[in-house]
């Protein structure tokens, strides 16, 4: 029952932006997205509230991460896919003409810079931005949860306490939904084919090494090869130990994308060597590491959002969470929009 409630609310919030591409990219198979998200939740540090890594939450988040892949189709077309990739050329610039800035500029500035070079963000992709937007939303979810937790403690009447408890349950449901949909973008960023102009075969570029130009590459590598050869247990075993990250989310995001970009040529070398045939140890190790990289990044980003959840203001007018938690401000129903 809990899972059904969580899923229903989270599905209603799909507007977080589940994006898609001119190049038709969707990245990993649905099962792989479920693995990335579920493993990340399993491996969260204990400092993150228990409701996020409860078994029913893990199942709901993993299911939500799978859904855009399970619901592929023509309906959303180019309005969905660009959010799942950013096409870096061999010079590590977007479409070869715009650096992926560190820290990232606003999406509007990114789009304007691309247009000045004769390229649109729909062509180039804008994967960094759904990752950052989703992280900021999660951080705000956590801020409200903290404020509501303190409000329950300081409620003056049983009726007021019950109201805050109900609001916190709703916030937990929303948070799980937000994590589930957002986690797909982080998972997509771990796929080298989502960080390159060589997204499905080497393409119309100089190719002295004779890398494949097969238009079946990504469908096979991300789908059939992963399904037949990878295991959840092996991916989980390859996840790096938790490390507290103090870098801004913009840096964390670009680090993940550049890490994937750095593996593009190696992916094509492996394909040329036949390493993506069933049972080939080198290909299995490569794909396992990439999915584990996605799970590692997702876990660390969630933990970071929790650690930095004292930054957003909550309520209207906005109040700092620390002021509520240290007793400087008492949270009332009016702060959370009660009539």
Per-residue confidence (pLDDT) for residue 21, from 0 to 100: 34
DSSP 239: S
| Nearest CA-CA partner of 7 in 51, 50, 58, 54 | 58
The strand pair at 313-314 and 98-99 is best described as unpaired
Collapsing DSSP states into helix, strand and coil, what is residue 93? strand
Q: Concatenated DSSP letters for 281-298?
A: HHHHHHHHHHHHHHHHHH
Dist CA 175 CA 184 (whole Å): 15
Percent residues over pLDDT 70 in the chain: 88
The tally of CA atoms less than 13 A away on the side-chain side of residue 41 is 26
Say which residues have a Cβ less than 8 Å from residue 241's Cβ, sequence separation at least 6: none
Query: Above 60 in pLDDT, residue 10?
Result: no
Dist CA 7 CA 1 (whole Å): 10
First to last CA, the chain: 29
| Nearest CA-CA partner of 226 in 30, 18, 41, 23 | 30
Query: Above 80 in pLDDT, residue 339?
Result: no
Dist CA 128 CA 135 (whole Å): 11
Per-residue confidence (pLDDT) for residue 69, from 0 to 100: 54
Q: Which of the two residues, 95 and 67, has the higher pLDDT score? A: 95
Instruction: Provide the whole-model pTM.
Output: 0.90
Per-residue confidence (pLDDT) for residue 12, from 0 to 100: 35
What are the pLDDT digits (tens) for 23-33? 445 578 899 99
Hey, what are 60's tokens?
Answer: 């709901």
Per-residue confidence (pLDDT) for residue 78, from 0 to 100: 52
The tally of CA atoms less than 13 A away on the side-chain side of residue 253 is 26
| For range 267-293, the mean pLDDT | 98
Q: What are the CA-CA distances from residue 316 to residues 277, 313, 321, 328 (Å)?
A: 57, 9, 13, 16
Hey, what are 339's tokens?
Answer: 């009539």
Query: Above 60 in pLDDT, residue 14?
Result: no
Per-residue confidence (pLDDT) for residue 220, from 0 to 100: 96
Q: What are the CA-CA distances from residue 265 to residues 18, 98, 113 (Å)?
A: 28, 21, 27
Domains and CATH numbers, the chain: 2-336 (1.10.575)
- Asked if 141 and 22 touch (Cβ cutoff 8 Å), the reply is no
What are the pLDDT digits (tens) for 158-212? 999 999 999 999 999 999 999 999 999 999 999 999 999 999 999 999 999 999 9
Per-residue confidence (pLDDT) for residue 245, from 0 to 100: 79
Query: Above 70 in pLDDT, residue 43?
Result: yes
What are the pLDDT digits (tens) for 108-166? 999 999 999 999 999 999 999 999 999 999 999 999 999 999 999 999 999 999 999 99
């Amino acid at each position: 029952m809990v899972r059904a409630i969580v899923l229903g609310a989270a599905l209603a919030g799909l507007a977080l932006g589940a994006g898609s591409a001119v190049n038709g990219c969707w990245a990993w198979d649905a099962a792989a997205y479920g693995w990335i998200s579920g493993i990340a939740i399993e491996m969260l540090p204990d400092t993150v509230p228990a409701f996020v890594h409860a078994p029913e939450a893990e199942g709901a988040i993993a299911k939500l991460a799978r859904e855009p892949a399970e619901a592929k189709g023509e309906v959303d077309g180019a309005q969905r896919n660009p959010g799942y990739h950013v096409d870096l050329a061999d010079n590590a610039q977007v479409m070869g003409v715009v650096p992926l800035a560190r820290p990232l500029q606003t999406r509007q500035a990114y789009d304007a810079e691309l247009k000045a070079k004769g390229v649109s963000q729909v062509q180039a992709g804008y994967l960094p931005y759904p990752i950052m937007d989703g992280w900021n939303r999660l951080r705000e979810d956590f801020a409200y949860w903290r404020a509501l937790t303190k409000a329950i403690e300081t409620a003056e009447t049983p009726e007021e306490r019950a109201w805050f408890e109900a609001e916190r349950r709703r916030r937990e449901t929303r948070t799980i939904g937000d994590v589930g949909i957002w986690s797909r973008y982080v998972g997509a960023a771990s796929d080298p084919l989502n960080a390159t102009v060589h997204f499905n075969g080497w393409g119309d570029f100089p190719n002295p090494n004779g890398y494949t130009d097969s238009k079946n590459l990504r469908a096979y590598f991300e789908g059939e090869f992963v399904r037949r050869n990878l295991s959840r247990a092996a991916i989980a075993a390859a996840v790096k130990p938790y490390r507290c990250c103090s870098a801004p989310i913009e840096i964390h995001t670009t680090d993940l994308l550049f890490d994937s970009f750095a593996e593009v040529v190696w992916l094509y070398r492996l394909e040329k060597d036949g390493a993506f045939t069933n049972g080939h140890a080198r290909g299995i190790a490569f794909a396992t590491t990439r999915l584990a990289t996605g799970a590692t990044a997702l876990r660390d980003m969630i933990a970071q959002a929790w650690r930095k959840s004292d930054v957003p203001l909550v309520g209207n007018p906005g109040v700092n969470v620390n002021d509520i938690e240290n007793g400087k401000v008492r949270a009332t129903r009016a702060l959370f929009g009660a009539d």
